[in-house]
Amino acid sequence: MAGSANENQIVDHLFRHESGRMVAALTKLFGFDRLEIAEDLIQDTFIQAVESWKVKGTPDNPQGWLYRVAKNKATDYVRRQQTKRKIDEQLKTAIPVDYSITAHLEQAFQSIDDSQLQMLFAVCHPSVPKEARIALALKTLGGFSIQEIANAFLTNKETINKRLYRAKEKIRKERIELEFPHESRLKDRLESVLETIYLLFNEGYYSRSNESVLRKDLCLEAMRLALLLLQSEITSQTDTDLNALMALMCFHASRFESRIGEGGEMIPWSQQDQTKWNAELINRGTYYLRLTNPDNFNSRYQVEAGIAYYHTHPESKEKWEGLLSLYNRLARLTSNPMVLLNQAYVISKVKTPYDAIDFIDSIDMIKGHYLYYALRGELLMEINKVEARNDLQKAHELAPLKAEKKVLKSKIEKIDKSGSKHH
């Protein structure tokens, strides 16, 4: 008998990668107002996988097993509704009795990529509130749990459940269908789709879930959805933001292997092993960046992609000056406090640590954050070790993750070993 922990890991991995695809295919077949039915059938499929694989072991083709079971469950569900005559007029229209259920299921699963994109555009419908669109997309397509979505939004499960409920009610009321928007509305809808993908990637790259500072599976799911957009005839036209977002994700993903230490801690750029950087992803990111008219950056995605591009290059004066120019531009486009902290670090490289400290001390919105103290302590380490230790100690007390606390503690110990004990 295979180990249950191993089977659970496999099912969890497949749920993350396949559940959204399968839900999209069934929702395309049943209609968007029956999204919950599709979700329940897929949930039942994965529950059966856990129970079956614990006893029989993982099948040779686990993905094929899941798809086959999901089709069988969908077929049984429709036949039960027909047999009991509890099918309403809308569902009769969607799946007439004389249709071949099996044939339609096969067709739905064969066009699964289109179904996913149509699902993504549907949940980003303008009538659905912005935050609810993103939460629903993360749940239905990314395989996110309610808790993970709550973490991404820095809120609680109850709030996310309310958002999802309101989104589903709006979908039912508006009778939103799984379809691509009209060409005249494509750009506006694409903007929300890209934001959803961006948030999905960031939740993985800057993860605050499960005591992990990087969750590759979430990042790769975001890249997969962006690639679907790039490969679709409808959305593959040279869209500046789409290509910029893909470039940004490629550059960040290129440094996955060098970004996390053996203890799970995040390794700063300056200490990363550059031999571990993925040249293929850097080249791919450069390709997408060149499609965005890089001489005229005017969107957040373009600017962030440019910043990520510089971070795939060795230390140089030109690099830091280029980064400062881009961070100055990004700070005008967004009020994100993390942007200001990164801007401060770059200021310390182009100018002096004193200039960087003056900069962050002048911004009320970032004071009190553990990263504010962490950066201040870092900047002070060669200037005033006692003050640096105080700031690093505050950062250590406020840091939410064990891995981050470990890094901060090592810096404090470095100061202590140098002879400047805390009094």
User: Final residue of a domain: which of 197, 218, 239?
Assistant: 218
If you search the block for the tokens 């203890």, which residue do you land on? 263
State whether 93 and 138 are in the same domain: no
User: Final residue of a domain: which of 92, 110, 128?
Assistant: 110
Cα within 13 Å of Cα(285), Cβ side: 29
Query: What is the model's pLDDT at position 268?
Result: 76
User: Final residue of a domain: which of 79, 110, 141?
Assistant: 110
Q: How far apart are CA 188 and CA 260, in angstroms?
A: 37
Q: What is the number of domains present in the chain?
A: 2
In a domain, 135, yes or no: yes
State whether 15 and 104 are in the same domain: yes
Q: How many C-beta atoms lie closer than 10 Å to residue 320's C-beta?
A: 18
Query: What is the model's pLDDT at position 246?
Result: 96
In a domain, 395, yes or no: no
Query: What is the model's pLDDT at position 98?
Result: 42
Query: What is the model's pLDDT at position 191?
Result: 86
User: Distances in Å between the alpha carbon of 324 and those of 201, 271, 309, 312, 350?
Assistant: 24, 20, 13, 16, 8
Rounded to two decimals, the pTM is 0.77
Nearest to 401 by CA among 211, 206, 152, 215: 211
pLDDT in tens, the chain (423 residues): 344 566 777 888 788 778 888 898 888 888 887 888 999 999 999 999 989 998 888 888 988 899 899 988 988 888 887 665 554 555 555 555 444 556 566 666 666 677 888 888 888 887 888 778 878 888 888 888 888 788 767 688 999 999 999 888 888 888 888 888 887 788 888 888 898 889 888 877 876 554 556 678 778 888 988 998 998 888 876 578 999 999 999 999 999 888 887 777 777 777 888 888 999 999 999 999 999 876 677 889 999 999 999 999 888 899 999 999 999 999 999 878 889 999 999 999 999 999 999 999 988 888 888 889 999 999 998 889 999 999 999 999 988 777 788 888 989 998 888 764 444
State whether 2 and 102 are in the same domain: yes
In a domain, 77, yes or no: yes
Give 231-299 as a DSSP string: HSTTT-S--HHHHHHHHHHHHHHTTHHHHB-TTSPBPPGGGS-GGGS-HHHHHHHHHHHHTT-GGG--S
Range of the domain at 41: 1-110
